[in-house]
Structure 1
Amino acid sequence: MGMGRAMTPTIHHFTASDGVNLAWRETGEGRAVVLVHGLFSDAQLNWVKFGHAQQLAAAGFRVIMPDLRAHGLSDKPHDPAAYPPRILGRDLSELVAHLGLADFDLGGFSLGSRTSVLAVAQGLSPRRLVLAGMGLEGLLGWEKRHEFFLEAFDKFDSASRGDRHWFAIQFMKSQKVDRVATRLLLESNSTVTEAMLARLTMPTLVLCGDDDRDNGSAPALAEALPNATYEEVPGTHTTSVTQKALGEAMVRFLTAG
């Protein structure tokens, strides 16, 4: 099997319990690790483009990367009924069940970290967990972040450079996001509680850019969890995910011991 071929993820689809078609990418062989991308992003941009998936595959992992509903290659329904509370956690749990994964690791970036926490609260039990691009306030105080993005939708065509929503809007435009679907997803707003954080008893790596405060304090999140360590990579919320160091830190944590 040629290296190039091995490293090009294959695309797969499955149907969620409510009939929504969801996509995932897969590369590598070995121990399963499920990686969940951030808001307005997708698996290709978050995990494949900057080499993180390839680093994990090279370290002996089967890397499984879903596109969340309303994102990427997955369906983007415009029916509010397709976005009940905690839907992303349910979709993630259904993907794990669909693939028959009994022993796996789990990692997320930003909304992907939030989705991973919700899925564990709903019964998913990864061996190890990586929460990247996430701080304590981004989990327990999601309403503020949520309001920020709803304001960005409202200013989509009127914001000018210098507006605090400018970069979020430019990112949405570059990703050609479906604003109807992603707004419905944001409005479904699933609360994370301290009781949910207490359930994260597996070894957890909190991984964040040294200049990333978008989701609050990552060190405070590590402190609040039962079994977590904190590690920094260079960058902001936007640039940390482009750093090779992000994938390297995940490989080190997931292969330790």
Structure 2
Amino acid sequence: MDDALTALTTMPPPQFIMTADGDRIATYTWGDDAAPTVLCVHGFGSSTRDNWVNTGWVRDLLRGGLRVLAVDQRGHGASDKPHRPEAYEMTNLVDDLVNVLDTYLLDTVGYLGYSLGGRVGWQAAVDVPARIERAVLGGIPDGRPLARMQIDQVRAYLDEGRAVEDAVTRRYVSLAERVSTNDLRALMSLAEGMRLGESDPDPASPPRQPVLFATGQDDPILEQSRRLAAVAPQGMFVEIPGRDHITAPGSRDFRQAGVQFLQG
């Protein structure tokens, strides 16, 4: 079994990087240090393993001659999981990625993000454009991530065991609870923190780099994502056939389009 195939199911030990506010961010690397690097950033309630390893992305990026640097965003995976909503403001999520690039001595990278990771990628491409050469943004909404989650219902569920009545919130809770290592209080804090500051993508100030937007055919945010692609000067859009928001990361069509785009 070659290294690329092994990477489909195994994880290297995390390397931890400290944030400015004292939390640890778990990072993982695969591939040749001399190869072009792709920074991979997962979605809400997910992790590097969930979004990129188990779905075959790491394997296919390596086979495409690329190096992979992935992070577990704060609140996820092996990273610290603060319960402070302010820890999850968009500026902090972007600063975490800049800190990772600085620590690894990387001036510029390709970017691969899905859902929440796609939204953070949009902001990183706008705020620190010199660090992001090109980006694949999958399943990215045109508003604030997690804005429809009813925080009070999640809090009542955690504190009192009360049933979550709102259907959208119930889906978020189910998504979070499917991974045993997730901390629902931390993820609730993330949903609160995303409402602080300016977290909407600004169509008047889109990324200027080449960006591939990709969203599942059956994803309710399909047209939102398509609109974001239309305002990006070098934006392209791919509709992932037969996939919804949850299943899109595992699509072979998505992987093929994404790897080819990141190869430049």
Query: Which aligned pairs between 1:229-248 and structure 2 lie closer than 5 A?
Result: 229-234=236-241, 235-248=243-256
Query: Which aligned pairs between 1:174-193 and structure 2 lie closer than 5 A?
Result: 174-176=178-180, 177-189=182-194, 190-192=197-199
Match for 2:144 among 142, 145, 159? 142
Sort the Cα spacing of 1:62 and 1:14 in 2 relative to 1 into closer, same or farther, 3 A: same
**Distance in 2, Cα, partners of 1:124 & 1:54:** 27
Pair 1:101 & 2:106 matched: yes
Sort the Cα spacing of 1:127 and 1:197 in 2 relative to 1 into closer, same or farther, 3 A: farther
Q: CA RMSD in A?
A: 2.5
Q: Number of residue pairs matched?
A: 250
**Distance in 1, Cα, partners of 2:226 & 2:43:** 20
- In structure 2, list runs of 5 or more residues that go unmatched: none
Query: Which aligned pairs between 1:39-50 and structure 2 lie closer than 5 A?
Result: 39-50=44-55
Answer whether contact 1:210 1:233 (CA < 8 A) is retained: yes
Answer whether contact 2:123 2:201 (CA < 8 A) is retained: no
Query: 1:204 matched to which residue of 2?
Result: 211
Query: 1:16 matched to which residue of 2?
Result: 19
**Distance in 2, Cα, partners of 1:180 & 1:20:** 16
Q: TM-score, normalised by structure 2?
A: 0.84
Answer whether contact 1:93 1:124 (CA < 8 A) is retained: no
Measured after TM superposition, the shift of residue 60 of structure 1 is: 0.7
- In structure 1, list runs of 5 or more residues that go unmatched: none
Match for 1:226 among 203, 215, 233? 233
What is the CA deviation profile of residues 101-151 of structure 1, one whole-angstrom value per residue up to 9, with x for unaligned ones? 1131012101001111222233243111111011xxx23x317x4232536
What letter is aligned with 2:134?
R
Sort the Cα spacing of 1:87 and 1:24 in 2 relative to 1 into closer, same or farther, 3 A: same
What letter is aligned with 1:142?
R
Local SS of the residue matching 2:22: coil
Answer whether contact 2:27 2:70 (CA < 8 A) is retained: yes
Local SS of the residue matching 1:34: strand
**Distance in 1, Cα, partners of 2:120 & 2:30:** 21
Query: 2:73 matched to which residue of 1?
Result: 68
Q: Which moved more, 1:59-68 or 1:184-193?
A: 184-193
**Distance in 2, Cα, partners of 1:148 & 1:215:** 19
Query: 2:175 matched to which residue of 1?
Result: 171
Query: 2:134 matched to which residue of 1?
Result: 128
Local SS of the residue matching 2:258: helix
User: Identity over aligned residues, as a percent?
Assistant: 27
Answer whether contact 1:197 1:225 (CA < 8 A) is retained: no
What is the CA deviation profile of residues 61-103 of structure 1, one whole-angstrom value per residue up to 9, with x for unaligned ones? 1111100001110001234553455211111111111111113
Q: TM-score, normalised by structure 1?
A: 0.86
**Distance in 2, Cα, partners of 1:178 & 1:199:** 33
Local SS of the residue matching 2:133: coil
**Distance in 2, Cα, partners of 1:205 & 1:22:** 26
What is the CA deviation profile of residues 8-47 of structure 1, one whole-angstrom value per residue up to 9, with x for unaligned ones? 4422211112221110122122110001100111111001
Answer whether contact 1:206 1:222 (CA < 8 A) is retained: yes
Answer whether contact 2:126 2:205 (CA < 8 A) is retained: no
**Distance in 2, Cα, partners of 1:130 & 1:175:** 25
Pair 1:213 & 2:227 matched: no
Answer whether contact 1:33 1:106 (CA < 8 A) is retained: yes
Q: Which moved more, 1:151-160 or 1:28-37?
A: 151-160
Local SS of the residue matching 2:171: helix
